[in-house]
């Protein structure tokens, strides 16, 4: 078998047991046409339909009228309420639990500890199987061993939430503490190891970057620091659940619905079909709405008590139980020629994770495809700390990594006297700098040019600290953001056409999650367009583990995963319809790839007059409905092309000369993310990401007390996020150039918004004041 | 939250009778007390709601104002006499919390709000002498960016979080209280305590005493006042530091100046040393910085808050130079 035959078979998924490494070698070599997206999605060419029109979110009315039920709003008859008691030491054992007072408190139904909790299997840890989504595989209330400060140690069930909370406050737990690693310095002193992410080492080397850097005529070499960050979705994590016979029913807040159901089944020793998990509405996820201790404890307590349970974490509980971003300490060293082109790009450093964790903060991911450099060294090392397992938090890696890289590029531009936009454009790579694969769609230069023009970049003060407006220093900064296009396997779509008199309705079921970003609306738009039906005739079902397939709202990949599954299901539907249409149809003789959906039916692509409606086909076949289920193609396009989204960000800040207070006065994001499917929800996604980036730049910081590993500011009163007055008008534009190799030509846009933002702010602060702040958040005391 | 009884007081006498019982607490708007109860930091057996007591703002014979304790913060901030004659107070109130909280919060309750020290709030996992006397202080060697640089003790480095109280300290207000031992008045600057070895006691109020009103004296003719708050975000954040000032000039010479700082001590800090240094002077940046230096000579900064003395000094200089130029009200 030649390399090309192997590649073709690999591309088509025919070779059994082809290992990932071989795929990665072969798929880039295969002709485009063998790869998903090699033949552009026909919807890309369709310009006049729903795609690209601003459509209000379909669930908006339910949300603003209070009829959308979130996880903590479901009720079961006989339901009791849970409250948790958390460990106050970072490491050791529970010595004793005195729960007598709690058990005697009014309304208490159960006090569950590791002594009486049902025996459970460990949580399937992320990466251990395709469906595993646990941030750790530590035993949950099984053995009295403490692994982090804040670990749940007791669960109280009572008839009301207030009774449960009160009783929980009466439980007295004493601990035998053992030495723990709770500071970065200690972790570093204990030795660091090569970081891994998604099963691969976080290490990329092109040439000898250190040597090239040392020889370069112009150099920047700096260390940047980002603190821990905690998740603060507006909806705290919650689950309402019940054992009904031997089945477990869970109303959860989830961005990985099917996986969580499967994981819960594994933990409780059930068949996957015995767990039914729904999550139609989620009040924000950002990577945090996954499987954590609380759902497991809730289900265990419900089993033990024989009562349905609602377990809703307090805001403090979210800090104690749900992981966030790990701390980073990043070196960026750039060696450049006089014209600004890079001889060497070095982005290395340290992050942390607990001994029981699965990921460090992979801060080099963005640097893998942003710039061309003759040599590159990208590396993440990890120190181990005894903390809660950190996890994905909006653009894991890129959010904090772009702060370091894009600050360093600004420093280089400043020292070279080259405009920072121009410097970036001079370092545009022609192909993927690491993998060498061609870019599928890269129009960042256009985004820079249009963004700079619209923002008025030419008016930037040339000399830092030179513009003053009364008490305020004024400055402008820019930065680039990036996030990869991913598509995970496992997505399926079921399309059901139902004849209703002389019209037809389509139901599209996908095991996707909607966290408020507009997925349901966008999916309906795309499905309607693909089926040739008006939006009103399309129903979308999602957020339910009973739906086939498994899709995660993570990695900004859900749009593509849904898109590819709907393409596959639509193709299968067309085939079935042609079979039903038979010889009496104007479509007779056509094969599936010769027809398309148009105006409520099928039409020949080469002769649009040869057409028949769905109603007509179904009626003649005496069918009331027709249903197909199909999985999306294997996501090989990301091996064949280098696929990314990009942003060019512009920021204007005002820094008070007296107090050091920073106010962001203008912001513009110019995005290159393929075709924008729904401008209305997209705008909110971009703006929301940028606002989260402003918080990262200026105020977000988890205060992990190095003496005992406890989060000191486990409250939104002292963990600051931007409030309305901190957010200026945010202008957002996009290239809207379809990626010819992505379904619908679109990229997911959940994470790109935050990337680069902190650097744009920091660079603007430098331009305003002449002060370069390299550790986040940039609070006013650092500017005095 | 612990179980508790709730009663609504008909009048001050009724409130005092109910408040004399051990374990009772007066409830104003509840914007801090209820939070503290949820965290089990406050565990009253009996809540006596005093929001039904008189809530008027009256002119006094000496040209000042008498503000009932049940007046809501919003009502006080928006009162025409306050806005006209005591802009420092109006601005301090509006710089705090959110509109919704200000609508709920009462004047009396604002005086009794407790520190925002994160260790004070972590009832399960942190040591705090203010919350649990004798347990220790985790803030002294921990995260203490928002903590005190003046007047702190080994036992406690917490700050008082109110904005309004900083203005009242600068205005020489008087607090009217009523209790088992009868009515008395307390100069505002004496209401709040320094922590010493009893940081659990925020004020000099005796058990069961009720704040009934606050009296504002008239300001001298021509006096100007201002409040400036420095914080980590544009709104809805407690002050890192704040400055309240009342300035009276004759020509360009300081006849009288009253200054209070927020965010630097266990109580709103009346800066008497700085005031003394400024009397008779002409306001310049350097004169003010020198006066502030006198005030902070005894400052004991902690790990994270060494920036505060300089920040207060710069802010004070900006406030007083603006007032001297007539740029603030």
Tell me: the pLDDT tens digits for B118-153?
A: 999 999 999 999 999 999 999 999 999 999 999 999
Thinking of the domain A424-486+639-783, which architecture would CATH place it in?
A: 2-Layer Sandwich (3.30)
Chain A hits for B264, Cβ within 8 Å: none
Could you please state the CATH topology (level 3) that the domain comprising A487-634 is classified under.
Answer: Aldehyde Oxidoreductase; domain 4 (3.30.365)
The residue-averaged pLDDT of B212-240 equals 96
Is A295 in contact with A311 (CB distance < 8 Å)?
yes
Q: Residue B170: what pLDDT?
A: 98
Q: Is the pTM of this model over 0.95?
A: yes
Q: Residue A1: what pLDDT?
A: 41
B318, A658: Cβ pair inside 8 Å? yes
Please enumerate in sequence order all residues whose Cβ is within 8 A of that of B14, keeping only pairs 6 or more positions apart, or say none. none
Closest Cα to residue A238, out of A311, A287, A168, A296?
A: A311
CA distance, residue B182 to nearest chain A CA (Å)? 37
Is A174 within 8 Å of chain B by CB? no
Residues 356-385 (A) with a CB less than 8 A from some CB of B: none
Chain A hits for B101, Cβ within 8 Å: none
Residues 649-678 (A) with a CB less than 8 A from some CB of B: 658-661, 663
A106, B3: Cβ pair inside 8 Å? yes
Letter string b/e over residues A266-284, b meaning 16 or more CB atoms within 10 A of that residue's CB: bbbebeeebbebbbbbbbb
**How long a stretch of residues is chain A?**
784
Closest Cα to residue A724, out of A694, A702, A700, A755?
A: A694
Residue appearing with tokens 């958040």: A777
Is A169 within 8 Å of chain B by CB? yes
CATH of A72-179+237-321, one of 3.40.50.10490, 2.60.40.10, 2.30.290.10, 3.90.1170.50: 3.90.1170.50
A169, B2: Cβ pair inside 8 Å? yes
Terminal CA-CA length for chain B: 44
Letter string b/e over residues A99-136, b meaning 16 or more CB atoms within 10 A of that residue's CB: beebeebebbbbbbbbeebeebbbbbbbeeeebbbbbb
CA distances B306 to A288, B142, B154, B294, Å, are 36, 14, 17, 16
Per-domain residue ranges of chain A = 3-30, 72-179+237-321, 424-486+639-783, 487-634
The Cα–Cα gap between B168 and B219 comes to 12
CA A323 to chain centre: 14
Q: Indicate the pLDDT class of residue B327, thresholds 50, 70 and 90.
A: low
Query: Identical fold at A72-179+237-321 and A487-634?
Result: no
Q: Residue A20: what pLDDT?
A: 61
User: Can you tell me the ipTM of this complex?
Assistant: 0.97
A vs B: CB pairs below 8 A = 91
Please enumerate in sequence order all residues whose Cβ is within 8 A of that of A17, keeping only pairs 6 or more positions apart, or say none. none
In terms of phi and psi (left: phi > 0; alpha: psi -120 to 50; beta: otherwise), the region of A404 is: alpha
Of B116, B142, B233, the CB nearest to A720: B233
Helix (H) or strand (E) holding A704: strand A704-705
CA distances A28 to A21, A32, A438, A778, Å, are 12, 9, 9, 43
Is A720 within 8 Å of chain B by CB? yes
Is A470 within 8 Å of chain B by CB? no
The Cα–Cα gap between B145 and B238 comes to 12
Q: What does CATH list as the number for B224-325?
A: 3.30.390.50
The Cα–Cα gap between A491 and B214 comes to 67
B314, A705: Cβ pair inside 8 Å? no
CATH 3.30.43.10 for the B5-51 domain, yes or no: yes
By CB neighbour count within 10 A (0-12 exposed, 13-18 middle, 19+ buried), where does A535 fall?
middle
The Cα–Cα gap between B138 and B286 comes to 37
Chain B residue set in contact with A, beta carbons under 8 Å: 1-3, 38, 40, 116, 118-119, 121-126, 138, 141-143, 145-146, 230-237, 240, 307, 310-311, 314-315, 317-318
Q: What is the DSSP letter of A274?
A: G
Q: Residue B315: what pLDDT?
A: 98
* A751 a catalytic residue: yes
The Cα–Cα gap between A764 and A771 comes to 10
CA distance, residue B58 to nearest chain A CA (Å)? 34
Average pLDDT, chain B: 97
3-state helix, strand, coil in chain B (%, to 5): 30, 20, 50
Stretches where chain A sits below pLDDT 70 are 1-21
Closest Cα to residue A756, out of A638, A644, A637?
A: A644
B143, A86: Cβ pair inside 8 Å? no
Chain B hits for A708, Cβ within 8 Å: 125
Residue A33: how many CB atoms within 10 A of its CB? Answer: 9
Half-sphere exposure of A392 (CA within 13 A, CB side): 24
By CB neighbour count within 10 A (0-12 exposed, 13-18 middle, 19+ buried), where does A253 fall?
buried
Is B76 in contact with B89 (CB distance < 8 Å)?
yes
Which residue does chain B place closest to A664, by CA atoms?
A: B234
The Cα–Cα gap between B112 and B19 comes to 15
Terminal CA-CA length for chain A: 68
């Amino acid at each position: 078998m030649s390399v090309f035959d192997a590649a073709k078979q690999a591309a088509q998924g025919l070779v059994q047991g082809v290992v990932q490494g071989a795929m990665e070698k072969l798929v880039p070599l295969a002709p485009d046409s063998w790869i998903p997206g090699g033949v552009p999605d026909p919807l890309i060419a369709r310009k006049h339909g729903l795609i690209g029109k601003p459509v209000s979110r379909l669930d908006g009315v339910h949300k603003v009228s209070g009829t959308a039920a979130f996880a903590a709003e479901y009720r079961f008859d006989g339901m009791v309420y849970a409250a948790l008691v958390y460990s106050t030491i970072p490491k050791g054992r529970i010595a004793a639990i005195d729960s007598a007072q709690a058990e005697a408190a009014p309304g208490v139904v159960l006090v569950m500890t590791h002594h009486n909790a049902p025996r459970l299997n460990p949580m399937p840890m992320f990466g251990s199987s395709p469906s595993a989504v646990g941030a750790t595989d530590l035993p949950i209330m099984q053995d009295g061993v403490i692994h982090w400060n804040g670990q749940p140690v007791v669960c109280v069930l009572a008839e009301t939430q207030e009774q449960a909370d009160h009783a929980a406050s009466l439980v007295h737990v004493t601990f035998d503490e053992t030495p723990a690693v709770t500071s970065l310095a200690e972790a570093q002193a204990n030795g660091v190891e090569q970081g891994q992410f998604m099963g691969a080492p976080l290490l990329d080397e092109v040439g000898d970057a250190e040597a090239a850097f040392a020889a370069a005529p112009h150099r920047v070499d700096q260390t940047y620091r980002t603190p821990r960050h905690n998740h603060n979705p507006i909806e705290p994590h919650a689950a309402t659940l019940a054992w009904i016979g031997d089945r477990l029913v869970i109303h959860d807040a989830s961005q990985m619905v099917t996986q969580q159901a499967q994981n819960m089944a594994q933990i409780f020793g059930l068949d996957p079909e015995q767990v039914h998990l729904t999550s139609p509405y989620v009040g924000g996820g950002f990577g945090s709405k996954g499987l954590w201790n609380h759902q497991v404890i809730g289900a265990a307590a419900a089993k033990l008590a024989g009562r349905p349970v609602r377990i809703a974490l307090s805001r403090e509980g979210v800090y104690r139980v749900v992981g966030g971003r790990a701390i980073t300490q990043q070196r960026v060293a750039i060696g450049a020629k006089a014209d600004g082109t890079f001889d060497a790009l070095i982005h290395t450093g340290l992050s942390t994770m607990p001994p029981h964790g699965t990921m460090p903060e992979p801060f080099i991911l963005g640097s893998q495809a942003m710039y061309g450099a003759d040599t590159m060294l990208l590396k993440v090392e990890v120190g181990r700390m005894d903390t809660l397992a950190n996890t994905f938090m909006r653009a894991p890696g890129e959010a904090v990594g772009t702060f370091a890289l894009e600050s360093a590029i600004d420093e280089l531009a400043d020292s070279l006297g080259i405009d920072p936009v121009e410097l970036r454009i001079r370092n545009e790579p022609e192909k993927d700098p690491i993998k060498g694969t061609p870019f599928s769609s890269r129009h960042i230069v256009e985004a820079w040019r249009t963004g700079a023009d619209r923002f008025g970049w030419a008016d930037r003060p040339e000399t830092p600290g030179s513009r003053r407006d009364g008490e305020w220093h004024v400055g402008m900064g820019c930065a680039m953001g990036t996030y990869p296009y991913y598509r995970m396997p496992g997505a399926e779509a079921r399309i059901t056409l139902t004849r209703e008199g002389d019209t037809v309705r389509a139901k599209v079921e996908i095991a996707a999650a909607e966290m408020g970003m507009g997925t349901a609306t966008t999916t309906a738009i795309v499905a309607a367009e693909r089926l040739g039906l008006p939006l009103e005739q399309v129903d979308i079902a999602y957020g339910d583990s009973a739906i086939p397939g498994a899709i995660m709202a993570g990695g900004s990949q859900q749009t593509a995963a849904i898109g590819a599954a709907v393409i596959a299901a639509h193709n299968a539907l067309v085939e079935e319809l042609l079979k039903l249409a038979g010889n009496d149809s104007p479509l007779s003789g056509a094969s599936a790839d010769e027809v398309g959906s148009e105006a409520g039916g099928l039409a020949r692509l080469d002769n649009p007059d040869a057409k028949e409606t769905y109603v007509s086909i179904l009626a003649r076949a005496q069918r009331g409905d027709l249903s197909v289920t199909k999985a999306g193609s294997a996501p090989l396009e990301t091996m064949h092309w280098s696929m990314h989204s990009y942003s060019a960000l512009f920021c204007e800040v005002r820094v008070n000369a007296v107090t050091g207070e920073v106010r962001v006065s203008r912001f513009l994001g110019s995005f290159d993310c393929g075709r924008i499917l729904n401008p209305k929800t997209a705008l909110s996604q971009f703006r929301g990401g940028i606002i989260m980036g402003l918080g990262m730049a200026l105020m977000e910081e988890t205060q992990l007390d190095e003496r005992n590993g406890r989060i000191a500011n486990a409250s939104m009163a002292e963990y600051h996020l931007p409030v309305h007055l901190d957010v200026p008008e945010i202008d957002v534009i996009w290239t809207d150039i379809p990626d010819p190799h992505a379904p619908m030509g679109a990229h997911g846009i959940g994470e790109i918004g935050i990337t680069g933002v902190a650097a744009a702010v920091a660079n603007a602060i430098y331009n305003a004041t002449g002060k370069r702040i390299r550790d986040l958040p940039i609070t006013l005391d650092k500017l005095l | 939250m612990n179980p508790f009884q709730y009663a609504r007081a008909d009048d001050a006498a009724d409130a005092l009778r109910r408040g004399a019982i051990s374990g009772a607490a007066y409830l104003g708007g509840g914007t801090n007390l209820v939070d503290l109860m949820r965290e089990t930091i406050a565990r009253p057996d009996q809540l006596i709601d005093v929001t039904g007591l008189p809530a008027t703002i009256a002119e006094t014979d000496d040209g000042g104002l008498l503000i009932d304790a049940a007046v809501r913060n919003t009502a006080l901030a928006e009162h025409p006499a306050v806005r006209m004659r005591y802009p420092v107070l109006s601005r301090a109130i509006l710089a705090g919390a959110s509109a919704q909280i200000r609508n709920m919060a009462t004047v009396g309750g604002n005086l009794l709000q407790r520190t925002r020290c994160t260790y004070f709030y972590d009832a399960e996992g942190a040591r705090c002498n203010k919350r649990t006397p004798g347990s220790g202080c985790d803030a002294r060697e921990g995260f203490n960016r928002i903590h005190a640089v003046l007047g702190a003790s080994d036992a406690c480095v917490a700050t008082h979080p109110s904005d309004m109280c900083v203005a009242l300290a600068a205005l020489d207000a008087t607090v009217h209280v009523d209790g088992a031992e009868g009515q008395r008045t307390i100069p505002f600057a004496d209401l709040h305590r320094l922590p010493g070895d009893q940081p659990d006691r925020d004020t000099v109020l005796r058990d069961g005493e009720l704040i009934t009103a606050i009296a504002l004296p008239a300001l001298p003719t021509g006096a100007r006042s201002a409040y400036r708050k420095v914080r980590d975000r544009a709104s809805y954040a407690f002050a890192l530091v704040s400055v309240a000032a009342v300035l009276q000039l004759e020509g360009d010479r300081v006849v009288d100046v009253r200054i209070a700082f927020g965010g630097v001590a266990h109580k709103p800090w009346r800066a008497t040393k700085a005031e003394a240094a400024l009397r008779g002077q002409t306001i310049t940046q350097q004169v003010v910085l020198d006066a502030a230096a006198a005030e902070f000579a005894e400052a004991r900064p902690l790990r994270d808050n060494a920036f505060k003395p300089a920040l207060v000094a710069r802010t004070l200089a900006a406030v007083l130079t603006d007032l001297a130029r007539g740029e603030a009200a």
